[in-house]
Amino acid sequence: MLKVEEHQRDLAETAEEDETGGVPWFQRFMERIGALWTLGVLVVLIVAFGTVAPTLYTKAAWLATASFAVEYLILAIGQTFVIVTAGIDLADGATLGFSAMAGSLLMANMLGSHDSGGLTVVAGILLMLATGAGIGLLNGLIITKMKLPPFIVTLGTLTAVTGATDLLNNGTEITNLPGFVTTLGTASVISGWLPVPVLVALALALVFGLVLTRTRFGLRTYAIGSNEVAARRAGIDVDRHLVRVYMISGLLAGVAGLMVTANFSSASPIAGANDELYAIAAVVIGGASIFGGRGTIFGTVIGTAIIALLTTGLVLANVQPFWQQVAIGAVVVGAVAVDRVRTVVGTD
């Protein structure tokens, strides 16, 4: 009995030692503040750009930044789920373009034949969501059934879907859309401060943030990314779960396609091109590990905000626009480097 008590005390002591002993203070500090450091970077950027270009603190600048962020945030939410499972979805930008074109083509044709506005809009939106989810389903099935790496599979679908998008309308854009689509892009609440697309993106972030942190689905998403063998041994149907995660990413690309179409009142075959790079950057800046198991929607929102702010901030500060991508690239590498320092302490 005495020995057992000793054993308990030893274990408790070891636990404390593990949390503090031998870890440099800087790393302990970084670990403790967690993803909050990205929020700090965002605040610093807001203050810095605001000092250089006070026009940043105007309604127009806010609306430009927020509207710019919408498509990337919606894609990045799905990308967060995928990256947390240790996967990647390179096809989400292409999926955005394809689903927007497919839905718009249907709407344009229905408008031409019989002009029942409501049905046309509903059918078009549903087709966008369905094609998005469908491409996600295809990605998920190829990855899990053929056991191929997500990077290669989604690189393939990225290329194929991009080509298919041009096939839809011979590479030209679609402009004759129902009036509701335009309204969706221009309507706003709170006396013009909150455009509907921004509201939709934030609502999606809230809902999927709760799904990831508070539900069984979210917990299993982390588990698969953290240790797939452990997840399988725990009786989780890993393949089915992964298919669903890629479907979420595709579905959200469809939603983003709708928002982009609404924003421009037209569907362009080049919409969404290269968006996946910004979406992945936002997720990584937000503190997700590309090796899976870690990442939050909150971090992704901050990461997207940093990218959007860099873009409008540099424009307002009259910096040559070519510097935008240089700056974003530097922030991505910086974020990964900081993450490395933050988690290098015997965590894996």
Partner 1 sequence: MDSGEQSGAAASPGLEQPVLEVRGVSKRYGSVHALRDINFEIHRNEVVGLVGDNGAGKSTLVNILSGALHPTSGQILVDGAPVSFKSATDARDVGIETVYQDLALAPDLSIWANLFLGRERTVSGPLGWLGWLDRRAMMSRSVEDLDRTKIHIASVSSRVGRLSGGQRQAVAVGRAVAWGSRVLLLDEPTAALGVEQQAKVGDLIRTVSGHGIPVLLISHNLPQVYELCDRVVVLFHGRVIAELRPKETDLDSIVSWITGSAMLAGKTAR
Of 35 and 153, nearer to partner 1 (C-beta) is 35
Q: Does 341 bind partner 1 (CB under 8 A)?
A: no
Member of 118, 235, 320, 322 binding partner 1 (CB under 8 A): 235
7 binds partner 1 (CB under 8 A): yes
The DSSP result for 109-167, as a single string, is HHHHH---HHHHHHHHHHHHHHHHHHHHHHHHHHHHHTT--HHHHHHHHHHHHHHHHHH
Binders of partner 1 among residues 280 to 309 (CB under 8 A) are 292-294
Nearer to partner 1, 138 or 224 (CB): 224
Site for partner 1 contains 236 (CB under 8 A)? yes
Q: Which of residues 205-224 bind partner 1 (CB under 8 A)?
A: 214-217, 219-220, 222-223
User: Which stretch, 16-24, 74-82, 115-123, 264-272, contacts partner 1 (CB under 8 A)?
Assistant: 16-24
Site membership for partner 1, residue 10 (CB under 8 A): yes
Ordered DSSP codes for 233-302: HTT--HHHHHHHHHHHHHHHHHHHHHHHHHHHTSB-TTTTTTHHHHHHHHHHHTT--TTSS---HHHHHH
Near partner 1 by CB under 8 A, which window of 2-10, 43-51, 107-115, 314-322? 2-10
The Cα–Cα gap between 227 and 85 comes to 9
How many Å apart are CA 234 and CA 50, to the nearest integer? 51
Residue with tokens 């105007």: 58
Cα separation, 109 vs 300, in Å, equals: 37
Does residue 319 bind partner 1 (CB under 8 A)?
A: no
* 4 touches partner 1 by CB under 8 A: yes
Binding-site member from 15, 112, 190, 320 for partner 1 (CB under 8 A)? 15
Token digits for 281? 């950057």
- Using rule CB under 8 A, residue 342 touches partner 1: no
Cβ-Cβ contacts under 8 Å for 172 (sequence gap 6 or more): 269
The answer to whether residue 32 forms part of the interface with partner 1 (CB under 8 A) is no
Within positions 53 to 112, which residues make up the interface with partner 1, using CB under 8 A? none
How many Å apart are CA 105 and CA 228, to the nearest integer?
41
Q: If binding is defined by CB under 8 A, does position 203 make contact with partner 1?
A: no
Q: What are the distances in angstroms from CA 226 to CA 42, 78, 103, 146?
A: 28, 18, 37, 22
Tokens of 229: 């063998």
Is residue 347 close enough to count as binding partner 1 by CB under 8 A? yes
Q: Which is nearer to partner 1, 288 or 315 (CB)?
A: 288
Q: Is 24 in the site for partner 1 (CB under 8 A)?
A: no
Of 298, 326, 287, nearest to 310 by C-alpha is 326
2, 146, 190, 229: which one contacts partner 1 (CB under 8 A)?
229
85 close to 221: Cβ distance less than 8 angstroms: yes
- Of the two residues 82 and 128, which places its CB atom closer to partner 1 in the complex? 82
Q: Contact positions toward partner 1, by CB under 8 A?
A: 3-4, 7-12, 14-16, 18-19, 214-217, 219-220, 222-223, 225-227, 229-231, 233-236, 292-294, 346-348
